[in-house]
Amino acid sequence: MSELLYRRLALLGKREHLSLLEQCLHGIERECLRVTGGGRLAQTPHPEALGAALTNEMITTDYSESLLEFITPALPNPADTLSSLDRIHRFAYTKLGSEYLWSPSMPCPLPAEEDIPIAYYGTSNIGQLKYVYRKGLALRYGKTMQCIAGIHYNFSLPEQLWPLLKDTEGFVGTERDYQSTAYIALIRNFRRYSWLLMYLFGASPALDAGFLRGRSHQLEVLDADTLYLPYATSLRMSDLGYQSNAQAGLTPCYNDLASYTDSLRQAVATPYAPYVEVGTHKDGEWVQLNTNILQIENEYYSNIRPKRVTYTGERPIQALVARGIQYIEVRCLDINPFLPMGIDLPESRFLDAFLLYCALNDSPLFANNECGNASANFLSVVKEGRRPGLELQRDGAAVDMKQWATELLEQIAPLAALLDESHGISEHSQALDAQLAKIQDPSLTPSAQVLAAMAERKESFAQFSLHQSQLHAEYFRNDPLTTDEQAHFEELARKSLAQQAELEQTEVGDFDVFVGSYQASILAISN
């Protein structure tokens, strides 16, 4: 254990500080495709009974009209966060008719590109902006890739923790600066060690053969309808032939907040020749928001993001520059097709211990090719994480993945114990033991279990996934919400529809002008 980690653990383990760790906040965003009873992409509009995707804070759409996104509030106890997610699922199932929520991350058999519906948010300027942004994504990356779903895990440490650490460590600067510096340090460690999460929780070793649209690939044929890699953990997080040339040069390595926001700001303002060639309009219609490397900062694909809650009309980078980092969003988690919500409490408990380890452990700045090695280790594990004898790069030398994973869990154990002590439970340590078992026996990993279940039932990827989706639908429908809970969600849906209607009726101003000022807002930021 590093001396810094030892000191911080000792400080947080003091009786007067122990309750601090009960104040971490947890929020979950779960994406999932709506599919027909036959396991095909639902071509129906976003169900109005779920409310307006633009203004309902708990149920929205992501890329496609068929890609639902369920959003929980940020709560101190992850058990409550998961209860909230559970209730959203139960409510959704009262409005889906004969449709299902697709159980895994990789999509169902998809229709032709042009038949994948882009999410629509109405006629307000902000609604149109969201729609044109998605048209731009279709143009730049294709619609197929945008139908992949995942789980985003939002996590923050208690605000009172930062002044406590800052004072004991003699940091020169404001509390806000210290907090942002500490979160960036967490992100660097996450980049170093996130391959471990892909081994433990990756659940997408196979996909529907039609997904690659006939493009060349390195996948193997499992059956007539399924492609896979025998030792893959998460094809969702692999390159899968989708390399964004525009984003290739964009590699913020998280040495400080200013350089991170600056690299994204430049990308949103720097033209990219192939996009310039297309232009922003075709036949008088908007086809992308701009012709730059990124249309908006959220277009940058990353496994983890520093975040700050934004004010109305404010952009994510503006919020970060103005008020610093408030929480982080982990974006690399697959949906576990064996779990009704795609994630469960033991996974959440382990994530908390893992993220606390990333936050409190030494996190030197990235030097030499360490950033590239972190990316290479991550890719190795998503493509062949269960391969016996797999080696990763650590400190310029090859290291056995299982050995490193075991060492990491040993180092995370005191963090799990500290969390257990602060909550008066033993669940974090139990979750850690369950992960150790997966390292010792790869057949216990979700990726191995997916392949085993498909083999046992003689099912293709699509058949297996539909089967799981049906089981989960039954699970949610057999235990309906209370009358009060149902009424609460109905009211949220009604209010969101009214809110969108009001926005559309009262708005003044031309969309082209709105886009212009939206673009200008990012250029006006100075670090």
Report which secondary-structure segment, H or E, holds 93: helix 78-93
Cα separations in angstroms, 81 against 27, 181, 218, 228: 6, 27, 39, 33
Residue 76 falls within a domain, yes or no?
A: yes
Residue 250 falls within a domain, yes or no?
A: no
Using one digit for the tens of pLDDT, what is the confidence trace for 247-299?
877 777 688 999 999 999 999 999 999 999 999 999 999 999 999 999 999 99
Q: How many CB atoms lie within 10 A of CB 484?
A: 7
Using one digit for the tens of pLDDT, what is the confidence trace for 427-444?
999 999 999 999 999 999
Alpha carbon 93 to chain centroid, angstroms: 23
User: What is the mean predicted confidence (pLDDT) over 353-381?
Assistant: 94
Q: How confident is the model at residue 246 (pLDDT cuts 50, 70, 90)?
A: confident
Least confident of 233-237, 256-260, 351-355, 466-470: 256-260
Distance, in Å, from the CA atom of 247 to the CA atom of 258, rounded to the nearest integer, reads 19
State residue 313's pLDDT score: 79
Q: How confident is the model at residue 524 (pLDDT cuts 50, 70, 90)?
A: confident
Q: Domain containing 470: what range?
A: 3-159+192-245+327-523
Distance, in Å, from the CA atom of 276 to the CA atom of 254, rounded to the nearest integer, reads 29
Classify each residue of 365-390 as buried b or exposed e, where b means 16 or more C-beta atoms within 10 Å of its C-beta.
ebeeebbebbbebbebbbbbbbbeeb
State residue 241's pLDDT score: 55
Distance, in Å, from the CA atom of 88 to the CA atom of 70, rounded to the nearest integer, reads 7
Q: What percent of the chain has pLDDT over 70?
A: 98
Cα separations in angstroms, 515 against 53, 132, 218, 283: 21, 10, 41, 18
Residue 289 falls within a domain, yes or no?
A: no
Higher pLDDT, 75 or 255: 75
Token digits for 78? 């992850």
Distance, in Å, from the CA atom of 355 to the CA atom of 417, rounded to the nearest integer, reads 14
CATH of the domain at 153: 3.30.590.20
pTM for this structure?
0.97
Say if residues 487 and 44 touch (Cβ distance below 8 Å). Answer: no
Using one digit for the tens of pLDDT, what is the confidence trace for 130-165?
999 999 999 999 999 999 999 999 999 999 999 999
pLDDT surpasses 70 at 526: no
Residue 265 falls within a domain, yes or no?
A: no
- Percent composition of the chain: helix, strand, coil (DSSP 3-state, to 5): 50, 15, 35
- The bridge status of strand 100-101 relative to strand 151-156 is unpaired
Amino acid making up residue 414: P
Number of domains present in the structure of the chain? 1
End-to-end CA distance of the chain: 36
Q: What percent of the chain has pLDDT over 90?
A: 90
Please list the alpha-helical segments (H only) found in 385-482. 401-423, 427-440, 446-457, 461-477
Backbone angles phi, psi at 54, to 5 degrees: -70, -35
pLDDT surpasses 70 at 10: yes
Residue 185 falls within a domain, yes or no?
A: no
Least confident of 76-85, 145-154, 363-372, 403-412: 363-372
Tell me the three state secondary structure of residue 399. Answer: strand
Q: How confident is the model at residue 242 (pLDDT cuts 50, 70, 90)?
A: low
Residue 177 falls within a domain, yes or no?
A: no
Say if residues 392 and 399 touch (Cβ distance below 8 Å). Answer: yes
Residue 373 falls within a domain, yes or no?
A: yes
Using one digit for the tens of pLDDT, what is the confidence trace for 161-217?
999 999 999 899 999 999 999 999 999 999 999 999 999 999 999 999 999 998 889
State residue 297's pLDDT score: 92
Token digits for 225? 């309808």
Q: How many CB atoms lie within 10 A of CB 111?
A: 14
Distance, in Å, from the CA atom of 263 to the CA atom of 273, rounded to the nearest integer, reads 18
What does pLDDT average to over the chain? 95
Residue 52 falls within a domain, yes or no?
A: yes
Higher pLDDT, 522 or 163: 163
Q: How confident is the model at residue 473 (pLDDT cuts 50, 70, 90)?
A: very high
- Give CA angle at 239 (237, 245), nearest 5°: 125
pLDDT surpasses 50 at 527: no
Task: Please give the full DSSP string across 305-322, using - where no structure is assigned.
Answer: EEE-PPPTT--HHHHHHH
Q: Which residue in this structure is represented by tokens 């449709």?
A: 99
State residue 252's pLDDT score: 75
pLDDT surpasses 80 at 245: no
State residue 215's pLDDT score: 87
